[in-house]
A and B are shown apart, each in its own frame.
Chain A
């Protein structure tokens, strides 16, 4: 009964109700869309970071991580790899040799991490190779010796092209200085400029041939079938291999983990500010409504409507107003986000800046389901909170006086 009256009351002054509803709708749609763009950007960054640079979990000799000295390799890496690859949820695994060194061309030089890989294994875990267009070579095409795959940024810096010579200088795992000429086989583009400037890939076999010894395996990288299983597998691995250090992607790249946390906080701050502003508008409008209808409310009470019913009626009116706007707003933004998610938003005008921080210039906005659920609660809460004050005002009316108000 009260429901019906409250609902009908909402439509008594259509213009007024529509203004509030439109404000809520547009506020939420705008806010959610902004949030979806931010979420899309960060999610893409994290995903490309995982797929191109870090994988889900990495295993090292704890000593290696201190200064990246290649003499601290993983003892018995082959048997360890055999055990890991048989573990549940492990989709792929690759073994890498890592040596700190310098890449030089006749024009310039720069410090790099030399990553010695087995190309086939590497491709199972990292998708960096798939981002190399045919015009930029490939990931170890052909069987020639001493090929290197470098990032576009390093190629720029060294002023080298495909098939150019690049000199790699490094200490092998025994500490001897080595130097060898490599030919550029492919140029990758990871969307993280720093990564592209400081990492080069060579075949492990070539490295060992040059140094004349087995440089060992410094890094085991694995990818799981589901990112959610990372914590479980991480703990399993760590207890199975206590002498090694097992790290998940957030530990390896704290900036990636932190940006995820930072953004999820920012998202709620944005929505919070918007809902706060909306709540203020709603309270304002409902207070006006109560004042305007003082006489009518007095009359209702005078003919026997209980105060609690009046209270509930005003509460319900406010909540209806909020919910209608909320539902339309969420609906509208869902549609908008879906459209833009399919086509992507091109931000290439800013892409140089974005790339430096590991962002993709094309953004596919989306919103986590969890956020929708939280937001629904937040909207209902906003409705209830902003209903209390006007409803209380109505409660405090004295019927005898209220009837006399003009």
Chain B
């Protein structure tokens, strides 16, 4: 206790020096947190987009479907399958879909499309498809009305109320053909989707493809996405793994995930460089502090203080200064992170256009999660402890006679 009091008084004896050291630690944690928060926020933003715009967190398919997305790799879907999945812990929503390639034809124009048969209500709960309707109305559970993406509709010269002819290959090679009234147009920011999507309700699609009771995928969203691995394992134990594949979104979207990984790796390198710079900054101030106080150390040791005790007090001082810097750094970073988490930064100009063309909302939210704050606080603490080695060594090597003459 007395040591703590001594250390406390020591650091306020020279306020200027203390403030400078604390300021360099403040900067270390502040910059690291903001940069990291930007990186993580961006990563989560992209994850949400992938999960919410299409895949869901987990999908169940017939084994081999993901590698070969063919109608013949569809699976039977009925209430008992749905019941098993729904009864699994942590499962939130499920969306059954039947998707396959078909040819669409209107007037003189013909174009390949991706035909998605889905449950209108469940689909909307996952991907908010009805919010993307720009003309006409959303899909209905009954009836054979279809939604056509805007890019495709403009290519075909199609309006709501027109009838689209669809041709294709159904289950087991049966030829599929049908005429469907267009009840609505949907717009997707990504041109790839906007130029090829046709939605109809699941029953109509099963009829068209002659695939009664069959679906190609069952998308599942989770209540707690952090427990995705446990839920995946649960599902695997309940569903015959020899017949079905149960995939996480990151197993399906390998290309997106790897791209994110490259970006994260790059971000970590930049953080490492940043830490190195501020680490040297802290180290520099500590060295100067030690040099300035060599004479003082000499005096204290010569009047009888044990070197080990002096070293302890010095480490305590460093901890106090370190904590001052850390606490103020974290305290100033959190409001900023919180603000931009709630009000994401809007990316503007040509860059925003590029994001939209990839189907990404041009927003940059910051992340605020306890785990990365803790990691960075620990890293800074480690840096501070490492810098303590220098003054402690100096104290133990101190030659009183020389120090007094400094």
Q: Which residues of chain A are near B273, meaning CB under 8 Å?
A: 26-27, 30-31, 34, 274
> Is B284 within 8 A of A175, CB to CB?
no
> Is A193 within 8 A of B31, CB to CB?
no
Q: How far is the CA of A291 from the CA of B169 in the complex (A)?
A: 83
B273 to A, closest residue via Cβ: A30
Residue B379 interfacial (CB < 8 Å): no
B-facing mask of A173-204, CB < 8 A → 1, else 0? 00101000000000000000110000000000
> Is B284 within 8 A of A20, CB to CB?
yes
> Is A254 within 8 A of B354, CB to CB?
yes
> Is B266 within 8 A of A23, CB to CB?
no
Q: Which residues of chain B are near A354, meaning CB under 8 Å?
A: 258-259, 262
Q: How far is the CA of A261 from the CA of B353 in the complex (A)?
A: 12
Q: Which residues of chain A are near B192, meaning CB under 8 Å?
A: 194
In the complex, number of A-B residue pairs with CB atoms less than 8 Å apart = 157
A-facing mask of B131-173, CB < 8 A → 1, else 0? 0000000000000000000000011000000000000010000
> Is B254 within 8 A of A281, CB to CB?
no
Interface of A (DSSP majority class): helix
Residue B357 interfacial (CB < 8 Å): yes
> Is B257 within 8 A of A353, CB to CB?
yes
> Is B276 within 8 A of A100, CB to CB?
no
Report the minimal beta-carbon distance from B121 to chain A, rounded to whole angstroms: 30
In the complex, chain A residues 45-93 whose Cβ is within 8 Å of any chain B Cβ: 67, 69
Contact of B112 among A13, A110, A159, A289 (CB under 8 A): A110
> Is B287 within 8 A of A353, CB to CB?
no
Q: Which residues of chain A are near B256, meaning CB under 8 Å?
A: 353, 356
Residue B206 interfacial (CB < 8 Å): no
In the complex, chain B residues 5-21 whose Cβ is within 8 Å of any chain A Cβ: 16-17, 20
> Is B103 within 8 A of A102, CB to CB?
yes
> Is A100 within 8 A of B24, CB to CB?
no
Q: Which residues of chain A are near B280, meaning CB under 8 Å?
A: 19-20, 22-23, 26, 281
In the complex, chain A residues 17-40 whose Cβ is within 8 Å of any chain B Cβ: 19-20, 22-23, 26-27, 30-31, 34, 37-38
> Is A175 within 8 A of B288, CB to CB?
no
Report the minimal beta-carbon distance from A195 to chain B, rounded to whole angstroms: 12
Interface residues on A, range: 35 or more
> Is A285 within 8 A of B35, CB to CB?
no
Contact of A288 among B109, B276, B285 (CB under 8 A): B285
Known contacts A16-B287, A31-B273, A254-B354; A288 and B257 CB within 8 A of each other: no
Q: Which residues of chain A are near B68, meaning CB under 8 Å?
A: 107-108, 159
Report the minimal beta-carbon distance from B283 to chain A, rounded to whole angstroms: 6
Q: Which residues of chain B are near A270, meaning CB under 8 Å?
A: 270
> Is A111 within 8 A of B288, CB to CB?
no
> Is B16 within 8 A of A353, CB to CB?
no
Q: How far is the CA of A111 from the CA of B16 in the complex (A)?
A: 70
Q: Which residues of chain A are near B254, meaning CB under 8 Å?
A: 352-353
Q: Which residues of chain A are near B112, meaning CB under 8 Å?
A: 102, 109-111
A15 to B, closest residue via Cβ: B287
Interface residues on B, range: 35 or more
Known contacts A15-B287, A16-B288, A255-B358; A280 and B24 CB within 8 A of each other: yes
Residue A2 interfacial (CB < 8 Å): no
> Is A258 within 8 A of B354, CB to CB?
yes
Q: Which residues of chain B are near A27, meaning CB under 8 Å?
A: 273, 276-277
Q: How far is the CA of A79 from the CA of B109 in the complex (A)?
A: 31
Q: How far is the CA of A281 from the CA of B283 in the complex (A)?
A: 10
Report the minimal beta-carbon distance from A299 to chain B, rounded to whole angstroms: 18
Q: How far is the CA of A259 from the CA of B133 in the complex (A)?
A: 30
Residue A11 interfacial (CB < 8 Å): no
A-facing mask of B269-301, CB < 8 A → 1, else 0? 110111011101101110110011000000000
Residue B27 interfacial (CB < 8 Å): yes
> Is A287 within 8 A of B278, CB to CB?
no
> Is A255 within 8 A of B354, CB to CB?
yes
Most interface-central of A38, A277, A278, A352 (chain B CB within 10 A): A277
> Is B287 within 8 A of A19, CB to CB?
yes
> Is B17 within 8 A of A291, CB to CB?
yes
Q: Which residues of chain A are near B108, meaning CB under 8 Å?
A: 171, 175
Report the minimal beta-carbon distance from A53 to chain B, rounded to whole angstroms: 16
A68 to B, closest residue via Cβ: B155
A100 to B, closest residue via Cβ: B111
> Is A23 within 8 A of B101, CB to CB?
no
Q: How far is the CA of A67 from the CA of B110 in the complex (A)?
A: 12
> Is A258 within 8 A of B350, CB to CB?
yes
Q: How far is the CA of A200 from the CA of B340 in the complex (A)?
A: 46
> Is B262 within 8 A of A347, CB to CB?
yes
Q: List 11 A-B contacts (CB under 8 A).
A: A30-B272, A30-B276, A107-B68, A177-B110, A270-B270, A280-B27, A281-B277, A281-B281, A288-B20, A288-B288, A353-B261
Q: A171-B110, A284-B281 are in contact. List 11 more A-B contacts (CB 8 A).
A: A20-B284, A26-B273, A34-B270, A109-B169, A255-B354, A277-B31, A278-B277, A288-B285, A353-B254, A356-B259, A357-B255
